[in-house]
Each structure stands twice: as C-alpha cells, then as structure tokens.
C-alpha cells in the first residue's frame, strides 16, 4: 500500500543537478559505442511495443513479439496487407520511444517520479504477455527487476534521478536508430526496414519517413527538455 500511495502522490523535485546528471548520463549512454549495444534493447522494447499497440488499436490480430540478442525485434500481426491499419502499425515503431519519453517527462514535471517507474514496470509486464521467445522474456524480466528494485529500495533522490534518466534515455535513444537505419539504407542493407515498408505501402519515398521519424524524435526531445528543465 505504501508503494501504491507513493506512486500516486507527487514527490518533491530533486535538486536540479540530479536531473542534469541524469540527462548527461542518458546522452553518454546513447553516444557510447560500448554501452549503446546493451542499452539499445530498451529502445527495441519500446519500438516493438509501439508496433504491437498500434496493431491492436487498428483491429489487427497480434500474433506476438520477438526480441533478439542483436537488439533487433519483430512484431507479427495479421489483417489486411494494405490500408491505414497496416500503415499505422508499421509507422508506430520509431516514434514510440520518443512519445513514451515525452509522456514520462510530463509526469516528472509535476513530481510523479515514482509513478513513472511504476508505469514502466506496467508496460514491461504488458509486453511480457505478447513475447514469443526466450531472450525477449529474459530481457523484459531483467529490465523489470532493475526498475522494481530501485523503485522499492532506493532513496527518493535516486528514484527521481533514475526516472529522469529513463525519460531522457528514451528521448535521446529514439534518435540514434533513425540515423542507423538511414545509414543501412544507403548501404542497401535495410530493404525491409520500416521506412522501406512504408514506402511500398504509401508510395512516399522511404527518406520521407526517415525524415518524419527524425523530426518527431527531435520535437519530442525539445518538448521533453522544456518540461523537465523549463
């Protein structure tokens, strides 16, 4: 009951330096070629979760989600092979981490630091229901365990800093895959990427979708930063 009460009520904002350190650490995580391959799994979870949620919202039949050790993932759904439903489903992946991060910064701005952590746990457990491979299950359980441990046992300042780190990591981390997929496209190594699929579905060039995903990520990062530090 204490955890539930703490999750729903507003907490005092931590010192500004805590938020700054959290944002810097999130940026370093995304920029580090050593840490990023591990941390990227969280972006993949959010990315595939976006596909899955859009598929269900559009009335498609969700078969499941698979997460792979190379940080790739796939969401399988069935329904009409063309039309708004499948377009929305394919398009939802790249913006999902940015939108989740933006929502998290909005909650942080009103002092709901513990609520952000609990919502992250809820989203991970919801993903667990649709995961269809062992690595995906393990990845979700480890992530859930880390967040729960900090939520339950860490002092308030650490909880607040970790919540801010998650929000900033989602905002910053959403941008790097957009850059990566465009690099792969230039080398003709991503013929089945989301932008290429959207190009075939809509007739719009894949570069349009890459640009749209990038602008969405940048916009969410700017709004999230204003909410957190404004």
Residue 127, pLDDT score? 96
Main-chain dihedrals φ then ψ at residue 121, nearest 5 degrees: -60, -45
13: confidence class by pLDDT, cuts 50, 70, 90: confident
Question: 112: which DSSP letter?
Answer: -
Q: How far apart are CA 79 and CA 58, in angstroms?
A: 10
Task: Using the predicted structure, report yes or no on whether residue 3 has a pLDDT greater than 80.
Answer: no
Q: Taking Cα atoms as reference points, which of 103, 93, 115, 114 lies closest to residue 45?
A: 93
Range of the structural domain that residue 211 is part of: 2-229
| Structural tokens at position 41 | 């799994």
- Confidence band, pLDDT 50/70/90 cuts, at residue 186: confident
- The CA-atom distances, in angstroms, between 139 and each of 41, 45, 124, 134, 143 are 8, 9, 10, 9, 6
Q: Above 70 in pLDDT, residue 1? A: no
209 pLDDT more than 90: yes
Distance in angstroms (rounded) separating the CA atoms of residues 113 and 161: 9
Q: Say what the pLDDT of residue 162 is.
A: 97
Considering only residues 167 and 1, tell me which one the structure prediction assigns the higher pLDDT.
167
- Average pLDDT over the chain, rounded to an integer: 93
Q: Residue 111: what are its φ and ψ, rounded to 5°?
A: 85, 15
Give yes or no for residue 189 having a pLDDT over 80.
Answer: no
Residue 46 has pLDDT above 60, yes or no: yes
Arithmetic mean of pLDDT, 195-199: 95
Q: What's the whole-model pTM score? A: 0.94
Residue 207: per-residue pLDDT: 95
pLDDT of 89-103, one tens digit each? 999 999 999 999 999
The pLDDT score that the predictor gives to residue 11 is 79
Measured between alpha carbons, how far is 95 from 49 in angstroms, rounded to an integer? 11
Residues written for the chain: 230
| Number of structural domains in the chain | 1
User: In the predicted model, what is the mean pLDDT of residues 125-138?
Assistant: 95
Tell me the three state secondary structure of residue 32: coil
Confidence band, pLDDT 50/70/90 cuts, at residue 185: confident
What is the rounded CA–CA span in Å between residue 79 and residue 201?
14
Which residue is it, tokens 């972006």?
43
Q: At 50, is the pLDDT very low, low, confident or very high (cuts 50, 70, 90)?
A: very high
pLDDT at 5: 64
């Amino acid at each position: 009951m204490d955890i539930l009460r703490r999750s729903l009520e507003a907490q005092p904002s931590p010192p500004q330096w805590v938020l700054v350190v959290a944002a810097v650490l999130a940026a370093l995580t995304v920029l580090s070629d050593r840490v990023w391959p591990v941390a990227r799994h969280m972006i993949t979870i959010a990315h595939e979760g976006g596909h899955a949620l859009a598929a269900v919202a559009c009335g498609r039949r969700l078969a499941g989600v698979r997460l792979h050790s190379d940080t790739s993932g796939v969401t399988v759904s069935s329904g009409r092979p063309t039309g708004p439903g499948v377009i929305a489903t394919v398009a939802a992946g790249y913006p999902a981490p940015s939108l989740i991060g933006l929502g998290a910064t909005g909650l942080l701005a009103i002092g709901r630091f513990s609520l952000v952590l609990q919502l992250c746990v809820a989203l991970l457990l919801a993903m667990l229901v649709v995961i269809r491979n062992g690595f995906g299950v393990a990845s979700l359980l480890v992530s859930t365990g880390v967040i729960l441990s900090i939520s339950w046992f860490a002092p308030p300042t650490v909880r607040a800093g970790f919540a801010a780190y998650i929000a900033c990591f989602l905002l910053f981390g959403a941008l790097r895959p957009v850059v990566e997929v465009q690099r792969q496209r230039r080398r003709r190594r991503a013929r089945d990427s989301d932008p290429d699929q959207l190009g075939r579905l809509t007739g719009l060039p894949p570069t349009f979708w890459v640009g749209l995903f990038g602008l969405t990520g940048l916009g969410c990062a700017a709004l999230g930063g204003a909410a957190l530090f404004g």
